[in-house]
């Protein structure tokens, strides 16, 4: 606060100089008359008071004032729930029926899993989309609406036409481990403590791409304490029309149920088979029972920054003082 007075005491006073605002280079060659020294007018008392007020407002803004609200309850189960959704080319198969309309497998997942996401109050949700490669579409967050929006915007074949189940699991293990480390180092009022970590894997095929096999990825998940629930998507029968008439085929012939069951069993989870939308919805309801939304009591205080008000007033006063100074000084 006393910095302006110290600055004024240490610096020598400026006297005997013309108080010009604009200096013109090369003005001597124009043979302009040399101006007589002009002493700048002495600042009035109210100007000094305004300058002092401006300085105090700047100090107040630099101190970052905040308004801390009343404590509010925050639902948090301490669970990290990652969804890994298959976007391989086989997800285009239209063997699901919802509201008397035939839809493809991904559309069924979007509708059923979207409602499942909305119910996961207190869980931190993440989203992985995989095909030939696995990508993190949404990191762990409490924002369920954003996770559902990203799932609804997913497109079949975007990460490739093949199925890299092992890479998807490995990516989930990596993100869950990173989340656990950050949760342990962060304050409890900001991030929930490291708790149960769950992966919900939805696929309709077998692993035929990627760097890791499902068995290798399952070992990584078991070592990291990640529980995997696997869901096999696809009907057992489907009527296909050909040039020789209609015939029944098995659209889920490529589904590797043995591998998915082994994945779930090795990590302490379960394997589910979704043959239609009703079964898929029942599976998500069972998952709600297996992983109940039991919220722990946590509280936080909403904080609102207030530095912008004194800063804006200080800039307004400083602008007014500078404008008045420019108008009263002689110029050339």
**% residues pLDDT > 70 (the chain):** 78
Q: What is the pLDDT of residue 14?
A: 64
- Computed over every residue of the chain, the mean pLDDT equals 83
User: What average pLDDT does the segment 235-239 reach?
Assistant: 78
User: What average pLDDT does the segment 131-140 reach?
Assistant: 95
| 190 pLDDT tier (thresholds 50, 70, 90) | very low
Tokens matching residue 108: 């069924």
SS (H, E, C) 207-240: CCCCCCCHHHHHHHHHHHCEEEEEEEECCCCEEE
- pTM of the entire predicted model: 0.65
Q: What is the pLDDT of residue 298?
A: 61
Lowest mean pLDDT among 34-38, 77-81, 144-148, 306-310: 34-38
Q: What is the pLDDT of residue 332?
A: 47
| 213 pLDDT tier (thresholds 50, 70, 90) | very high
User: What average pLDDT does the segment 109-122 reach?
Assistant: 90
Q: What is the pLDDT of residue 226?
A: 94
- For residue range 255-303, list pLDDT tens digits in order: 999 999 999 999 999 999 998 888 999 998 899 888 886 655 566 678 8
User: What average pLDDT does the segment 109-137 reach?
Assistant: 92
User: What average pLDDT does the segment 201-210 reach?
Assistant: 92
Please determine, for residue 47, whether its predicted confidence score (pLDDT) is greater than 60: yes
User: What average pLDDT does the segment 244-250 reach?
Assistant: 71
Phi, psi torsion values for 12, nearest 5 degrees: -75, 150
| Those residues with Cβ within 8 angstroms of residue 131's Cβ, 6 or more apart along the chain or in another chain | 86, 87, 88, 89, 157, 158, 159, 160, 161, 162, 163, 164, 209
Q: Which residues pair with 127 in a beta bridge?
A: 83, 138
| Those residues with Cβ within 8 angstroms of residue 24's Cβ, 6 or more apart along the chain or in another chain | 332
- For residue range 71-109, list pLDDT tens digits in order: 766 556 668 999 999 999 999 998 888 888 889 999 999
Q: Tokens 């008359």 belong to which residue?
A: 33
Q: Which residue has the higher pLDDT, 136 or 244?
A: 136
Please determine, for residue 115, whether its predicted confidence score (pLDDT) is greater than 50: yes
Please determine, for residue 209, whether its predicted confidence score (pLDDT) is greater than 80: yes
DSSP E strand boundaries for the chain: 66-68, 72-76, 80-86, 96-98, 101-103, 124-130, 134-141, 197-203, 226-233, 238-242, 245-249, 271-274, 296-300, 303-305
Q: What is the pLDDT of residue 214?
A: 92
């Amino acid at each position: 606060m006393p910095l302006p007075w110290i600055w004024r005491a240490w610096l020598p006073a400026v006297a005997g100089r013309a108080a010009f605002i604009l200096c013109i280079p090369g003005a001597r060659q124009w043979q302009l008359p040399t101006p007589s020294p002009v002493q700048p007018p002495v600042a009035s008392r109210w100007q000094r008071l305004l300058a002092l007020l401006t300085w105090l407002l700047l100090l107040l803004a630099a101190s970052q004032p905040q308004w801390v609200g009343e404590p509010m309850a925050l639902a948090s189960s301490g669970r990290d729930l990652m969804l890994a959704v298959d976007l391989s080319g086989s997800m285009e198969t239209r063997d699901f029926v919802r509201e008397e309309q035939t839809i493809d497998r991904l559309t069924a997942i979007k509708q059923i899993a979207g409602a499942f996401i909305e119910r996961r109050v207190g869980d931190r949700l993440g989203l992985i989309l995989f095909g030939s490669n696995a990508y993190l579409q949404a990191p762990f967050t409490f924002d369920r609406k954003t996770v559902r929006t990203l799932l609804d915007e997913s497109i079949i074949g975007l990460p490739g036409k093949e199925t890299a189940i092992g890479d998807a699991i490995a990516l989930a293990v990596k993100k869950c481990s990173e989340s656990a480390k950050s949760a342990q180092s962060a304050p409890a009022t900001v991030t929930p403590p490291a708790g149960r970590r769950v992966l919900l894997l939805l696929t309709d095929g077998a692993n035929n791409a990627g760097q890791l096999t499902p068995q290798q990825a399952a070992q990584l998940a078991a070592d990291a304490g990640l529980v995997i629930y696997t869901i096999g998507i696809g009907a057992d029968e489907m009527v296909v029309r050909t040039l020789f008439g209609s015939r029944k085929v098995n659209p889920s012939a490529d589904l590797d149920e043995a591998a998915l069951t082994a994945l779930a069993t090795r990590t302490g989870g379960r394997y589910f088979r979704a043959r239609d939308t009703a079964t898929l919805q029942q599976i998500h309801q069972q998952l709600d029972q297996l992983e109940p939304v039991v919220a722990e009591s946590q509280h936080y205080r909403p904080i609102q920054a207030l530095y912008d008000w004194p800063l804006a007033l200080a800039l307004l006063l400083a602008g007014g003082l500078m404008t008045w100074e420019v108008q009263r000084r002689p110029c050339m």
